[in-house]
Amino acid sequence: MIEILLVFALAIGLAWPLGRYLAAVVRGAPMRGDRVFGWFETPVFRLLGTDPLRGMTWRGYAKAFLLSNLAVGALVWVLFMTQAWLPLNPDAVPNMRWDLALHTMVSFLTNTNQQHYSGQAQLSYLAQMVGIVGLQIVTPMMGLALVVATLRALFGGREKNAHDTGEADMGNYWADVTRATVRFMLPLCLLWSVLLTSQGVPATLAAGPTVAPIDASAQMPEQKIPLGPVAAMVAVKQLGTNGGGWYGPNSSVPLENPTPFSNVLEMIAIILVPLSVVFMVGPLVGRRKLTAMIFGSMLLMSAASTGLAVWSEAYSATTSDVALMEGKEVRFGAAASALWASLTTQTSNGSVNAMHDSLAPLTGLDALVNMLVNAIWGGIGCGLQQFLVYLLLSVFLAGLMTGRTPELFGRKIEAPEVKLLALLVLLQPLVILGFTALTLAMPSITGNSNPGFHGISQVFYEYTSAYANNGSGFEGLGDATYWWNLSCALVLALGRYPALIVPLAVAALMARKRPSPETAGSLQIETPTFALTLIAVVAIITVLQFMPALVLGPIADHLSLTAAAH
């Protein structure tokens, strides 16, 4: 309990000033470090050929976002398929097969980091540093830029219309991404890299040593220990809600997470930046009560999720201590593993310090629900963007229930906006349940390690994790196949781009409307009552529509283990 409270207290305490600083960064306000940061930003703006003060319409902003993703993605895909012929490959790692390279590229491009490979064995240092770490730094800032643009449209954050077209000025995409990366993300990652290196996380470009293991045999007289610039990747994978580890077993590996202090550092990093984005809202849009409502709603859902996970691991369906420790690193134990599993799925982080496939069934249920909601803290930008979707739907439903015209701060929510939001909500079950059913109907391509209820959970978890841009998995799947690589790549893209662009379009539609003055009869959303209403809407939309799949998977798994134990 002390560790849980410590992690939350330190994360919230650090996130508050970081959120205020982040608001100043994305506002483009004058700052003391302008001269220093300008040395990095000015050449980037010149290279991109953009004026950072020139705003964009929502279509221009979305096109810039998609164009940047397409260009960066193509370069990284080629890098993965040609790494054997490029420098910084001291371990002679071969090229990736095209479908695995495609899945890996899409996974990291969508800020998901779902891994169908083992990084220490299948990626060169160059591919790790440029392809993986490069995407882990920039893709979270792309998501942040989209939610900042959405907030500007909803709350009038920019005074002038873009290009005088009459449409809302969303800001400049290239400036938003560049400023957030240079002024916020990179300094934070540098600090965390130094802290992790001090704990013994490797930070070297030299090849890994070869040693004679204690249980050496004629077939394996020696073993190669993979090293590399691990600390930098671990820092950005945690801070950027990325989660993709340098090593296959992720943060359960002693080299990636060597001490109790490094474990706490990495858990704080999981929720630090998503929390900072929440605290950014008030200073950015001038509504501090809105920040309190968002933070309170997310914290309540987070506390419930964390409590269930820790309780489930402490009071498993079985009574054996061995079962409670199955799949867990003995240095951390069951409670710290449950806390990590809950936090990593409350965000779109996806890193692990225990085998999620070995979690108690109810802990697996908790992780699945976290990803289905995808807005408890969520990913950087995309979590708040998803929360805004729930907010708009809750305002619409509350307006219908009270007989008032649904309005958000004086702007009406009408049929065009609701239709777009409804399509976005329906896309989730269509994609996740559709691919889960199709995969389970063809067992020859599933590569599933468990034919029972847990087998359903494994497949359902894989597609839920992909759609939520989380990346964690019930790794009982043989998922490095053409089917898994290509189907998951499609689900990854469908879970990322509509969820970021559709709310931007909705905000632009609302920004065109003339706001009416707020009166005593206006719906007040910055209240505890509305927060509870919003949480109820979240539960109805995300949990109830997936209840049959949850019953067939983790709930049935829990009941079968309980019956066997008794």
Give the model confidence (pLDDT) of 17-58 as tens digits. 999 999 999 998 888 889 999 999 999 999 999 999 999 999
CA nearest 368: which of 477, 433, 252, 460?
460
Residue 316's pLDDT is 62
- The token pair at 238 is 């945690």
DSSP 8-state secondary structure symbol assigned to residue 224:
E
Kindly report, residue by residue over 165-204, the tens digit of the pLDDT: 567 889 999 999 999 999 999 999 999 999 999 999 999 8
Using the structure block, give the residue that is written with the tokens 């905000």: 507
Percent of the chain past pLDDT 70, that is, above it, reads 95
Residue 158's pLDDT is 45
Residue 446 has pLDDT above 90, yes or no: no
**Backbone phi and psi for residue 354, each to the nearest 5 degrees, phi listed first:** -155, 165
**What's the rounded Cα separation, in Å, for the pair 373 and 387?**
9
> How far from each other are the two terminal CA atoms of the chain, in whole angstroms?
29
CB 468 within 8 A of CB 372: yes
Residue 394's pLDDT is 93
Residue 162's pLDDT is 47
Residue 157's pLDDT is 47
Residue 197's pLDDT is 96
Kindly report, residue by residue over 480-537, the tens digit of the pLDDT: 889 999 999 999 999 999 999 999 999 999 998 887 777 666 778 889 999 999 999 9
- The token pair at 227 is 């090293």
Q: What is the DSSP string of 487-554?
A: HHHHHHHHHHHHHHHHHHHHHHHHHTSPPPPP-TTS---SSHHHHHHHHHHHIIIIIGGGHHHHIIII
Per mean pLDDT, which range of 160-164, 220-224, 355-359, 468-472 is the poorest? 160-164
Residue 423's pLDDT is 94
**How many alpha carbons lie under 13 Å from residue 524 in its C-beta half-sphere?**
8
Span 75-98, mean pLDDT?
94
**What's the rounded Cα separation, in Å, for the pair 505 and 423?**
13
Between helices 382-402 and 260-285, what is the axis angle to 10°? 50
Residue 13 has pLDDT above 50, yes or no: yes
**What's the rounded Cα separation, in Å, for the pair 162 and 176?**
15
CB 229 within 8 A of CB 201: no
Percent of the chain past pLDDT 90, that is, above it, reads 65
Neighbours of 456 (CB within 10 A): 22
Query: Angle at the Cα of 172 (from 166 to 175), degrees rounded to 5?
Result: 165
Kindly report, residue by residue over 474-484, the tens digit of the pLDDT: 877 778 889 99
DSSP 8-state secondary structure symbol assigned to residue 214:
T
Residue 514's pLDDT is 82
Residue 403 has pLDDT above 80, yes or no: no
| Secondary structure (H, E, C), 240-252 | CCCCCCCCCCHHH
**What's the rounded Cα separation, in Å, for the pair 202 and 321?**
33
Alpha helices in 286-408 (DSSP H): 288-314, 321-325, 333-346, 361-373, 382-402
Q: How confident is the model at residue 161 (pLDDT cuts 50, 70, 90)?
A: very low
Kindly report, residue by residue over 269-284, the tens digit of the pLDDT: 999 999 999 999 999 9
- The token pair at 171 is 């800001």
Residue 451 has pLDDT above 80, yes or no: no
- As beta bridge partners, residue 354 has 328
CB 309 within 8 A of CB 335: no
- As beta bridge partners, residue 389 has none
CA nearest 72: which of 136, 17, 163?
136
Residue 317 has pLDDT above 60, yes or no: no
**Length of the chain counted residue by residue:** 566
CA nearest 511: which of 54, 150, 147?
150
Q: How confident is the model at residue 135 (pLDDT cuts 50, 70, 90)?
A: very high
Residue 352 has pLDDT above 60, yes or no: yes
Residue 160's pLDDT is 46
Per mean pLDDT, which range of 195-199, 314-318, 454-458, 502-506 is the poorest? 314-318
Query: Which amino acid is it at 419?
Result: K
Helix (H) or strand (E) holding 419, with range, is helix 415-441
CB 307 within 8 A of CB 434: no
- As beta bridge partners, residue 131 has none
**What's the rounded Cα separation, in Å, for the pair 539 and 263?**
31
User: How far are the Cα atoms of 466, 476, 563 from residue 450, in angstroms, in the given order?
Assistant: 20, 7, 18
Question: Considering Cα of 427, then 428, then 433, then 436, what sign does the dihedral take?
Answer: positive
Between helices 361-373 and 453-467, what is the axis angle to 10°? 30
Residue 322 has pLDDT above 50, yes or no: no
The pTM (predicted TM-score) of the whole model is: 0.93
**What's the rounded Cα separation, in Å, for the pair 368 and 312?**
14
**What's the rounded Cα separation, in Å, for the pair 463 and 439?**
10
- Domain extent listing, the chain: 380-565
**What's the rounded Cα separation, in Å, for the pair 294 and 296?**
6
